[in-house]
Structure 1
Amino acid sequence: MKKIGFIPLRKGSKGISNKNKRKMVGRPLFTWVLGEAIFSNLDEIIVYTNDASIIDFISKEYHWTNKVKALMRSEASSSDTASTEMAMLEYCESIKYDFDVFCLLQATSPFTKKENINACLDKLTESFDSALTVVNTHRFLWDKNGKPLNYNPFNRPRRQDFEGLLIENGAVYAVKKGALKKHKNRIGAKTAVVQMPEDSLLEIDSESDWIAVESLLIERQKREKESKQITHFVLDVDGVFTNGTISYTKDGEHTKNFDMRDGMGLEILRQFDVEVMIMTSENSELVAKRMEKLKIEHVFLGVKDKFSLLKHIILEGNVSLSNVAYVGDDVNDLSNICSVGWSLAPNNATDIVKSHADVVLSKNSGNGAIREACQFVMNYNKRF
Structure 2
Amino acid sequence: MSEPILTLDAVEKRYGADVAVERIDLAIDKREFIVLMGPSGCGKTTTLRILAGLETPTAGEVRLWGRPINDVPPWQREMPMVWQSYALFPFLDVRRNVEFGLKQRGGMSAGERRKKALEWLDRLGIAHMEKRGIHQLSGGQRQRVALARALALEPEVLLLDEPLSALDAHLRIRMQGELSRLHSELGITFVYVTHAQSEAFALADRVVIMSEGRVQQIGAPREIYRAPASRFVADFIGASNVVGGTVVEEKDGTVVLETPVGRLEATGSRAKGAAGALSIPADWIAVEPAGEATDGTAVEGRLVTEDFTGAVVTLYVELHDGSQFFVQKQQHEIERLSLKRGTRVRLSWPLEHATILPE
Same fold (TM over 0.5): no
Scaled by the length of structure 2, what TM-score is found?
Answer: 0.28
Pair member with larger Rg:
2
**Structure with the higher helix share, 1 or 2:** 1
Scaled by the length of structure 1, what TM-score is found?
Answer: 0.27
**Structure with the higher strand share, 1 or 2:** 2
